[in-house]
Structure 1
Amino acid sequence: MSSQTAPIRPRLFHGWLVVAGAFAVMFVGFGSAYTFSAFVEPLQRDFAASRGSVSLVFSLAGFLYFGLGVISGPLADRWGSKSLAVIGMLLTAGGLIAAGLATSLVQVYLAYGLGVGLGVGASYVPVVGAVQRWFVRRRGFASGIAVSGIGVGTLAMPPLAAALIAGFGWRQAYIVLGLLAALIGIGMALLIENDPRDRGLNPDGDPVEPGVARAAPEGFPVRAAVGSGRFVGLYIACVFCSFGLFVPFVHLVPYALDHGVAQGSAVLLVGIIGIGSTAGRFFLGDLADRMGRKNALTAMFAGMALSMAIWALAGSFWPLAVFAFAYGVFYGGFVAIIPSLVMDYFGGRNVSSIIGVLYTSVAFGTLVGPTAAGFAFDFSGSYQVPILASTAAGLLAAVIVAALPKAAGAPRG
């Protein structure tokens, strides 16, 4: 082939800009959502509410931002991920600002629960699905970098929220977070694109050979994918895991305060989850590319469960910090691996739609788990039962995934 007709690899593969946009959207969305633990005490105080009823605010948001993927995923497959990401960031910003203006806990349910829940739900699955299409050889690594936005947001945003609450009050803190979501989230969402073929490229930046017809992506139809044994097993495992998945994000700070840890140190524990989560997303996603993503996911479920056992025995800052970091590592690996495993099993044609259906499993567990843990504390004065129940559920999830078959090539068409 002559040099005039040889395909040229772009100097900067746009897939990495898609990764950067996805990173920022998840940093803003989940980072804002995971500040909630810092707001539990002032919301309880100002609205004279129980810990269980305040926890329901986060559970409603979590249910929506995972459950909405079943709608936002297919919309992204049809219309593109960029528009969904921009809409999601607008809703997130509006929900946070409205929460800061709320005069009752019911209004916080509506503002935070619906605004942040719908906002993250509209953007999360579309941007994760977009990243999967841009990579093959380094899919786990790219996906890990993208979703590490959640970990970095978990590290940065709760301490920022705590500082804003201490300096200006919880209402002003929510308004500032909303403005940041609008500026950063919307601006970076504009980098998201659905498919490298729209730029005349193949995944990983490989140029399209001249004269070669543009091939449609391979993959299962949605109905065939969700009816398969592999999907059903993965779904059930995620349901079990998700009952305890977000309990630390809501209750770790109140738990630490109950055990005499200072407010600043207690909020720092959520940031330590973010540090571990960031490390897990960067390094375990890449490791999963080599060891097999099914085996890696099994290890993530088991690791989250066993780290919960550390929490059950911890009563001071440093043991809680060990738990927070360990939990964060395995949680981050779980979030990084799941989308790539879906791509392995079912192909790229409908990957956003299939991920969206799968994440409804996490939605149901998130709706129940943090709220049940809060009411368990209100009833017994202890978190031991929900922590140990989360440990058992995580181990069961690991057993289910270990029994799944290895990924096979998706059919054409």
Structure 2
Amino acid sequence: MVSLIRRCSGTCTYGWVVVFASFLALFAMYGVQYTYGVFQQQYQDIYRGRATTTGLAFIGSVSFAALGLFGLFTGRLGDWLGYRVTMSIGTLLMCLALLLASWASEVWHLYLTQGLMFGLGTSFAFYPVVSAPARWFDRRRGFVTGIAMSGSGLGGMALAPITRKLIDVVGVAWTLRCLAAVAEQAIDVQDVDATTVSAPVGSRQWLWTRIKHPAFLGLWITNIFGSLGYLVPFYYIPSYAASVGYSKTDGAMLVGIMNGASALGRIGLGWAADYVGRINMYVGSVAAGGLVCLAIWLPSTGMAPLVVFSLLYGMFMGGFAALTPVVITVVFGMDGLSTIIGMIFASSGVSNLIGSPIAGAILDATKEQHGYMLLILYAGIMVLCGAIMAALLVRQKMTRHWLVRI
């Protein structure tokens, strides 16, 4: 396949091949990661009496947190060692993590495998994969990055119901082994992305110049708040659906819808961002994601409004995920892109670590009296705070004129 690709004529043609390769890699790695909400629901039965909702939510949070926190290290390695090496390391870690998790007998085993090790693997692979498409396009950068990152949403949409069915048929252990085979597919496309030439990493002065940029802190704070609430609906919509009378299959379907809509949002909002402004769309998508939590999820008990919420939340927060690296290119340019993306995404590490467990603690403390109301308020308010920070600390630092495309 790689030899055929190398015979493609024209930079633009090969650029689209890189976009497709990134799509496939993100489909595999994020598709597996986004299914954790299905596993969490099952773990609540397996470890009943031995683990709280908060403790089980911590497993998925550790995975997403590791992706961000290790970005300070793995993003820089992507520019230094090259994309092929870091992607290979990441894929091997992801596969090993899922295989080891299939033999877990205690919750702490899952923390180390499905949580920490899998998250570290995605961190090694993610930054080269997400950086590669942006290097081949300028005018359509938001659109092509959205296409590549839609792989994560489509992966979650496809794998969530499949995972639910596999658990019912073959059990948790064999489901994890099957997903290890899916994660292994990321290594089959690494040669395509790895041929992308990276700019030099840069000196300490180069790094310090970027850290001192007025929008750097703004992107950090935006990601901190946005990430505190971002994953809560993905993890808790299955158990919420069960609490209002729907089946586990219905809950898994809602996760799939949310992930599918996330894919559409990444493409559609990425395309729109190229016309209305990438930072403008970034701020708007985060704000809309918070609003639909409060306006639609909070009062919903029927399946129809839950489907509408899943569609809208997935779409708008898909824009948040896809446009973050695009906004980084607007602010910092293309030099050492994997390093800069890793530095910014590190800000979401702690938030991803504590965001869903905080929601779980809120639920454990208030469920008997208030149901899921305070959990939903927490998710919506955190995401809205992220939008406010993006408007005040990122967009306004770039320009104080509100009616311009940026």
After TM superposition, the score normalised by the length of structure 1 is 0.88
Residue equivalent to 1:326: 312
**Are residues 1:354 and 2:355 paired?**
no
Residue in 2 that maps onto 1:95? 97
1:296 lines up with 2:273 in the alignment:
no
**2:310 aligned partner, one-letter code:** A
The Cα offsets for residues 118-160 of structure 1, whole Å up to 9 and x where unpaired, read as 1111111121112221211211111011100111011101111
Equivalent residue number for residue 210 of structure 1: none
Q: Could you tell me how far apart the structure 1 residues matched to 2:391 and 2:40 are?
A: 37
Structure 1's 31 and 216: CA in aligned 2 closer, same or farther, altered over 3 A? closer
Please identify which structure carries the higher helix content.
Answer: 2
Which position in structure 1 is the counterpart of 2:52?
50
Q: CA deviation at 1:194?
A: 5.6
Letter paired with 1:250: Y
Q: Which residue of 2 aligns with 1:394?
A: 383
Cα separation, 2, equivalents of 1:194 and 1:316: 49
Please state how far the C-alpha of 1:406 moved relative to its aligned partner. 6.7
**Counterpart in the other structure of 2:402:** none
AA in 1 matched with 2:252: V
Aligned to 1:120: 122
Bigger drift between 380-389 and 104-113 goes to: 380-389
Letter in 2 for 1:141: F
Residue 251 of structure 1 corresponds to: 236
User: Partner amino acid for 1:247?
Assistant: V
Query: One-letter code of the match for 1:402?
Result: A
> CA-to-partner distance for each residue in 1:271-304, whole Å, 9 max, x for gaps?
1111211111111101101111111011011011
Identify which of 58, 62, 65 aligns with 1:63: 65
Work out the CA distance in 2 between the residues paired with 1:130 and 1:11: 13
Correspondence for 1:377: 363
- What residue number does 1:135 align with? 137
Secondary structure in structure 1 of the residue aligned to 2:45: helix
Deviation at 1:366, TM superposition (A): 0.8
Q: Cα deviation per residue 1:38-62 (whole Å; 9 max; x = unaligned)?
A: 1123212222222111111011111
Unmatched runs of 5 consecutive residues or more in structure 2: 1-7, 400-406
Q: Distance in 2 between matches of 1:142 and 1:218?
A: 26
How has the CA–CA distance of structure 1 residues 117 and 79 changed in structure 2, closer, same or farther, with 3 Å as cutoff? same
Cα pair 1:95 1:116 within 8 Å, conserved: yes
CA contact (8 A) 2:366 2:374 kept: no
CA RMSD of aligned residues (A): 2.1
Q: Give, in whole Å, the separation in 2 of the partners of 1:303 and 1:22.
A: 27
Opposite residue 399 of structure 1, the aligned amino acid is I
* Residue number in structure 1 paired with 2:181: 179
Q: Alpha-carbon deviation of 1:383?
A: 2.5
2:186 counterpart of 1:226: no
Match of 1:208 in 2: none
Within a 5 Å distance, the mapping from 1:227-242 to structure 2 comes to 227-242=212-227
Match of residue 307 from structure 1: 292
Q: So what's the TM-score if we normalise by structure 2?
A: 0.90
1:267 aligns with 2:269: no
User: What one-letter code is carried by the residue in structure 2 that aligns with 1:255?
Assistant: Y
The C-alpha deviation readout for 1:341-387, integer Å capped at 9, x for no partner, is 11111111121111111111211111111111112212221332232
| 1:195 partnered with 2:196 | yes
Q: CA deviation at 1:218?
A: 11
One-letter identity of the residue aligned with 1:373: A
Counterpart of 1:207 in structure 2 is none
Q: By how many angstroms is 1:9 displaced?
A: 5.8
How far, CA to CA, are the matches of 1:243 and 1:189 in structure 2? 31
Whether the 8 Å contact between 2:258 and 2:313 is mirrored in structure 1 is yes
SS in 2 for 1:313: coil
CA distance in 2, matches of 1:269, 1:103: 29
Q: Alpha-carbon deviations, 1:294-350, whole Å to 9, x = none?
A: 110110110110111111111122211111110011111111111111111111112
* 8 Å contact from structure 2 (residues 90, 125) kept in 1: yes
Tell me the amino acid that sits aligned with residue 392 of structure 1: I
Post-superposition offset of 1:221 = 2.4
Q: Return the index of the structure with the highest Cα Rg.
A: 1
Which residue is 2:4 aligned to? none
Give the deviation of 1:399 after TM superposition: 2.0
Structure 1 position 24 matched with structure 2 position 9: no
1:184-212 deviation digits (Å, cap 9, x = unpaired): 21101221136358xxxxxxxxxxxxxxx
| Partner SS for 2:245 | coil
Residue in 2 aligned with 1:73? 75
- State whether structure 2 residue 94 is matched by structure 1 residue 105: no
Q: Is the 8 A contact 1:151 1:275 kept in 2?
A: yes
Are the counterparts in 2 of residues 226 and 354 from structure 1 also a CA contact under 8 Å? no
From the superposition, tell whether residues 336 and 218 of structure 1 become closer, same or farther in structure 2 (CA, over 3 Å).
farther
- Distance in 2, matches of 1:360 and 1:105, equals 26
Looking at structure 2, the residues matched to 161 and 394 of structure 1 have their Cα atoms a distance apart, in angstroms, of 28
Q: Which residue identity does 1:269 align to in structure 2?
A: L
1:202 is matched with none
Question: Cα–Cα, structure 1 residues 11 and 375, in superposed 2: closer, same or farther, change >3 Å?
Answer: closer
User: Contact 1:222/1:353 (CA < 8 Å) preserved in 2?
Assistant: no
| Corresponding residue for residue 37 of structure 1 | 37
**Per-residue CA shift, 1:44-85, capped at 9, x if unaligned?**
222222211111101111110122211111111112222212
Cα distance in 1 for residues equivalent to 2:316 and 2:237: 17
Partners in 2 of 1:395 and 1:15 — Cα distance? 35
| Distance in 2 of aligned mates of 1:194 and 1:334 | 28
Contact 1:15/1:131 (CA < 8 Å) preserved in 2? Answer: yes
Contact 1:72 1:126 in 2 (8 A): no
Runs of 4+ in 1 over 3 A off after TM superposition: 194-197, 215-220, 405-408
Aligned to 1:200: none
